[in-house]
Structure 1
């Protein structure tokens, strides 16, 4: 029972979140070719190379299955910025190949531009290319997936197809946030479903563009989270390089089996035990736990929030960030690319009083009886000029911590004496 949201869910209104400027211009779907003839084998690529075709015009095609399952080596003829005459004049054997294996299929395409420009991909994704051009690596995930896995790929001589979503960042901090349980809950709720298996879809417009990233001021924390993500990505790549029969899907299936076995106090099957051992799954799990704890700390949220609590806070934070951006403040994820000329608006700073003129802070004694505790805590909240967290309220009392005042605050909220906000703070 509850209020039905526009996406037919009940609970946090994730579908109401709006796209943020801070996330713009860096998350894209891969190219769409519309013509199997664009794809060539490694042997055919070698032959074209001997005839003078540059390797960067025959990049490896990276598909969604390459993220999670297979590691195929298929290449594509990519002349997205060439005219037909330029291809014919400079690379006649390539032109002949495209004329033979691509044009007949594209001649039947209903869209006129696609049939007329048959030697190019139907969706060459120029904005994707622009956003990844200066990066040695960037983040990818499969559009449809069993497990939401984000990983780095090397950008040199590689192109992603339409089954892959790219995030044009080489920063492991961004990889960590995307790999956290906080983002996983968001993506699973915000994205759609597809196929006979009802598999989740990661859609850039719905999952990435509105997602409010944390913006921590603690660079030490950010470094620690970034380090855990680098180690996680390197470990998974090392495991897959050493064991050709393992895939990321198998590793994460084994991780789920390990958690389930521990929760039920059962023994892993021989098959799962083998993958857990060879795949370093316990260490993968440890890195994820470090990332989850660090990202929660970056948001300044408790690490044990439920899925619904996380989604509520993300929806509220999205609205807060959208309001900031309307006033000109944008927390760009990759400012040097997204907005190289951006200048943050000047914020009005409070005038600092001389030390002698600063008002004294009254430290209160904590009452023994509950009725007095209720009265004095309510008065602290009522006198505050802004909402306060439990820790801030506790500092008004000698020697007390947040755990002491939270039960009283929650009781006051239940009585309607104070309001508990979505970010965990309290207001009169």
Structure 2
């Protein structure tokens, strides 16, 4: 089945050439009337949605083989159109998550063919992100109704000239022993990892825990030129407005993933919040004028251009209704962060799983995950070896780089008893003599709370000192109150300071950093009641058992 007319014809020609070559090589005479026989088995049509919006049938076959199109879940509506997107949601409701990549529909169709006896097996290619997140649901269903018998979990691939990482997956009713990445294994799980005959550890059975809900959030998404340079922001901060309110109401420092993995680049964002009307927004003269020019007019021009090209503009029209606001303003995240002096932030995609503190005034971007806690104990648990291993196992990836998710990673992670997000939900905190901040928890967990917080606070202090050596920098108060100080490199150290990034630090792994993390891991292990000598497999098995036990309770 091939939607593109040219590709369908090319496939027929390829089969014809192959047949002629095979017949000549094996001593058979060529067909002469006709020379080329019709190949009706190659059908030119859509494989997952009919023109009328219904689900297409696939022909009965022994084996299904394909290289379905690679298209990320967030891009489906924009590139395929609202009608096609709605048809996918309707047809595959309950079978494929709406946010899944396009390739997942081929996996589900192939699984259904096998389940109904219309095929014996299938072999398909997808991006390696199928191993996690909403994409993995189709592999979960495959493992429930049949089995994966062969897979290469993470291989290089070139798609439209771009290098990507892919998974090659064979599944179905065969007696072939399971082989993963060229090695024979006992079983292949839905996340394309292997299980042994001795240890059953299918982390895909882990589920989101209610005790972790409403704490971790993907940051705001702009969908327009709302960001401005710090220099311009500071000019606006001292300008007056007709209603007498300051521009600091709607102009904030902004942080994306690169600000965490590299160094902050002094980018600010115009943020009219969640409920501010267009009329009230206009009272902030300079920020509002910037958004008119760089967001509103851009959307208007794009709508006109798309209409001229007969493109679907429903998505743009919805954006235009509240053009002065960020596209995804994250009201739930804002409510969770409200009242906190600081919060934990981590890049969604990064080589190293890094957590940092951000001041309450800084607005997180969608390339980050914001965690609504201000205590060092939660920070320490997240930065421990235990959470790092869990995040690598439960997260997805972008190419070969791990990706952190609020749902499959954070919300499934079983914190130590008494120190879960539910236990720290009051946001009541205590500042210790060392400066470490602990949450208010039950007295029987206080010793572990303090030990983790002290180790985490020490780790953070050491890192901050390495990132910004006092003799290299000057801390300059912001032009108006309520913002964190700016860190400015002294002239003789500007070049060296640029190299002081968390990525470079964790690439080097100096002894002091290793020791600080070891101290933290000791404290977190004690809170779990575990030995510090557990290997990675044992840690994951223990965490999975905790997750499943809490689901049952």
TM over 0.5: yes
Distance 1:227 1:147 in 2: 22
User: Retained in 2: the 8 A contact 1:41–1:73?
Assistant: yes
- 2:234 is the counterpart of 1:46: yes
1:35 Cα deviation (Å)?
0.7
1:283 Cα deviation (Å)?
2.2
Detail structure 1 runs of 4+ shifted over 4 Å in the superposition: none
Q: Which runs of 5+ in 2 are unaligned?
A: 1-184, 196-200, 241-245, 303-312, 419-443, 473-496
Distance 1:57 1:63 in 2: 18
1:3 Cα deviation (Å)?
2.1
Secondary structure of the equivalent of 1:102?
helix
2:297 aligns with 104
Distance 2:336 2:460 in 1: 22
Pick the aligned partner of 2:278 from 70, 73, 84: 84
1:226 aligns with 453
Distance 1:116 1:218 in 2: 50
2:189 aligns with 5
User: Retained in 2: the 8 A contact 1:34–1:106?
Assistant: no
1:113 Cα deviation (Å)?
2.3
Pick the aligned partner of 1:19 from 208, 211, 216: 208
Structure with bigger helix share is 1
User: Retained in 2: the 8 A contact 1:6–1:15?
Assistant: yes
1:142 aligns with 347
1:16 Cα deviation (Å)?
1.5
1:314 aligns with 543
Distance 2:186 2:227 in 1: 50
1:156-208 deviation per Cα after TM superposition (whole angstroms, max 9, x unaligned): x210101111111011111111111111111001001104xx10001111110
User: Retained in 1: the 8 A contact 2:262–2:501?
Assistant: yes
Distance 2:539 2:461 in 1: 29
TM-score normalised according to structure 1 size: 0.66
Distance 1:105 1:70 in 2: 30
1:213-240 deviation per Cα after TM superposition (whole angstroms, max 9, x unaligned): 0125442232111101011112211221
2:407 aligns with 205
- 2:325 is the counterpart of 1:120: yes
Structure with bigger strand share is 2
Pick the aligned partner of 2:374 from 170, 186, 197: 170
Distance 2:286 2:445 in 1: 56
1:252-282 deviation per Cα after TM superposition (whole angstroms, max 9, x unaligned): 1110xxxxxxxxxxxxxxxxxxxxxxxxx32
Distance 2:372 2:532 in 1: 28
User: Retained in 1: the 8 A contact 2:247–2:287?
Assistant: no
Pick the aligned partner of 1:285 from 493, 496, 514: 514
1:289-312 deviation per Cα after TM superposition (whole angstroms, max 9, x unaligned): 011112112111111111111111
Secondary structure of the equivalent of 2:189?
coil
Q: Which runs of 5+ in 1 are unaligned?
A: 256-280, 325-428
1:346 aligns with none
1:327 aligns with none
1:315 Cα deviation (Å)?
1.0
Secondary structure of the equivalent of 2:187?
coil
1:110 Cα deviation (Å)?
4.4
Considering Cα pairs closer than 8 Å and 6+ residues apart, tell me whether 1 or 2 has the greater RCO: 1
1:235 aligns with 462
Count residues in correspondence: 294
2:255 aligns with 62
Distance 2:384 2:286 in 1: 48
Distance 2:254 2:366 in 1: 10
2:162 aligns with none
Pick the aligned partner of 1:35 from 200, 218, 224: 224
1:297-343 deviation per Cα after TM superposition (whole angstroms, max 9, x unaligned): 2111111111111111111110111122xxxxxxxxxxxxxxxxxxx
Pick the aligned partner of 1:189 from 393, 397, 406: 393
Distance 1:140 1:93 in 2: 30
1:45 Cα deviation (Å)?
1.3
Distance 1:135 1:218 in 2: 23
1:144 Cα deviation (Å)?
0.6
Distance 2:333 2:284 in 1: 25
Distance 2:209 2:219 in 1: 21
Distance 2:452 2:529 in 1: 14
Secondary structure of the equivalent of 1:76?
strand
Distance 2:455 2:359 in 1: 19
